[in-house]
Amino acid sequence: MKRFGYCIASLLVFVAMIAGSALHAAKPRNGDGTAFVAIALHDVVDTPAQLDEDSITSDRFVALLEWLTGNGWTAVSLDDIDRARRGIAPLPPKAVLITVDDGLASAYTRVYPLALAYRVPVVVALVGAWMDVPADGTVRYGERTLPRSAFISWRQAREMQASGWVEFASHSDALHTVVRANPQGNLLPAGQNRIFSDGAYEGDDAFRARIRADLLRSRERMRVELRREPRALVWPYGRYNEETLAIAKEIGFAFAMTLEPGPADATRPFAIERFLPTGDPDLSTWVSNLRLRDPWPSARRVVAIDPAQLVGGDATETDARLGRAIERLVALGATHAMLDAGTVSADGRLDSTWFPNAQLPVRADVLGRFAAQMRARAGVDVIVRLPHAAVLRRVGDPQRAVALYRDLAVHVPFEGLVLEDVPSLDNATARADESPWDVARRREAERFTGWPDADATAMRAFLAAERMRPGLQAYWLAPEGHGFDRPSSLAEVTLVPRTPDATTDDAAPPPAFARRVGLFLRMPDASSRSTHDLALSARTFQINGGTVIAWGPDDALATPADAQAIAPFVSARRFPPVQDRVP
């Protein structure tokens, strides 16, 4: 099943880029013959009445195949990609890899016949535990219980493989499920998160042993049933980390596929990005999106929240406060929640954390709960703020500081990390043609040579967290007075701090950087005057072309009337801003 938040528009964005010009440093290197785009399908159904979030109709799948063929695209196999990786034969200029996850019955009844008819290779990912369910049994598939007949059989898989047009990949044996990941009981993907059981978290060794045993079972079952071990691993839910990737390599996999959108490359066989089509759009919508969309979100609304405001005297009160905060996020039209990961003393030292770790006292193990609930119920991405300067003042040793960020990423699900007090990020200004994957790959290649020790530690801490949460984005909180025309090329988003008042008329990012640099409004308190200034500043910034607005600390427990008053001026659901009188 899919990882939340992607749509067919993402595919078309990349198609437009690979055919046109939107990429720079990470654009498909057609001259090298290693670039391709990968598509992740799930279910193909006959009628709109059968659609769910992950499926497309068969007529629109045919339309996609026709469109790709008619526009010069060539479907390639893993053999083709491997030959390109080894420099034996280049991929064609417009190469596409078609994959189908989960092994639903439509892989045999609809995708397989079309693969034969169009003579296109397809990779189908199978979940071993589901394949081994008896014919009269059932499979728990997300929130649904499906009959075993909803999935292909081993006999059908052997027939498909024998055709020469279908290769089977592992989708794990039994990792396509969720596990209890914190004391409060949040359920998160089994292949990336530690199990919380009997009052304790699964240790590193136990986690690695569980993943290794599962992947080995998957390989063995496929060897027995298909007479060959899979060489490709498709991560369930697209979730993995550095540890699970290392295990996959050690036991013999040669490819690994994610659900991160981006350009794939044969030289990166263990990080094959795939685009996930959802919503079953018609071809005209696909083409419209191809021409109009780009890879940066059209608007970001980031609400900074201090977890201390949400922690009550007991679990019941804490849940009630969390519920109010989530309702407020929804009412404000937020796209992101920024959560403090610890408490900082008056002298700038990190006192304690809101997550389990081996370095510092834990004030309360609630950050994982707050993040999971906000993602699931408010539909926001979570950004975590853990100032490295405060961490270093407390622990002293840079290695201990980096270890703390790893512990954070092990136990908390989040999509972004704030970098602050890192002036070296200003050394390289972003280019107008950069994509999110350009930024990530440039950051990955940076060695931080000549950087001050504290700045280099901050970036190494980020990379340690990213290894546990691949796809993690950097939010640079720039110094006061930083220009809106200078986003960092090593951060997806640069936030320029201001105090919310009527003096933001000069806050106007250039159009080329409107989605890369934003306004961070430091809220002094939750008074009505601050609410007025927030609304006015947000409206002015949007009128000046800004699309990224953050503010905090927000009063997460304010009355619903407060959110109703602010929402018309800050909500990402009302863009561009309304011209109403500010509250």
- Cβ(286)–Cβ(67) below 8 Å: yes
Cα torsion 268, 269, 273, 275: sign: positive
Give helix then strand counts, H and E, for the chain. 18, 26
pLDDT at residue number 23: 36
- Identical fold at 8-282 and 300-570? yes
pLDDT (average), residues 162-171: 98
pLDDT at residue number 64: 85
pLDDT at residue number 5: 39
Per-residue pLDDT at 395 exceeds 80: yes
pLDDT at residue number 22: 35
Per-residue pLDDT at 14 exceeds 70: no
pLDDT at residue number 305: 96
Predicted confidence (pLDDT) per residue in 253-286, tens digit? 999 999 988 889 999 999 999 988 767 766 665 5
Q: What is the CATH number of domain 8-282?
A: 3.20.20.370
Q: What is the CATH number of domain 300-570?
A: 3.20.20.80
Task: Compute CA 459 distance to the chain's CA centroid, rounded to the nearest angstrom.
Answer: 19
pLDDT at residue number 32: 84
Count of positions (residues) in the chain: 583
Mean pLDDT computed over every residue of the chain: 90
From CA 114, how far away is CA 128, in angstroms rounded? 25
Domain ranges of the chain: 8-282, 300-570
Least confident among 78-87, 322-331, 454-463, 538-547:
538-547
pLDDT (average), residues 83-87: 97
CA distances 12 to 4, 16, 39, 72, 434, Å, are 18, 6, 11, 15, 17
pTM for the structure as a whole = 0.91
Task: Compute CA 175 distance to the chain's CA centroid, rounded to the nearest angstrom.
Answer: 19
Neighbours of 285 (CB within 10 A): 15
Query: Phi/psi of residue 168, each to 5°?
Result: -105, 135
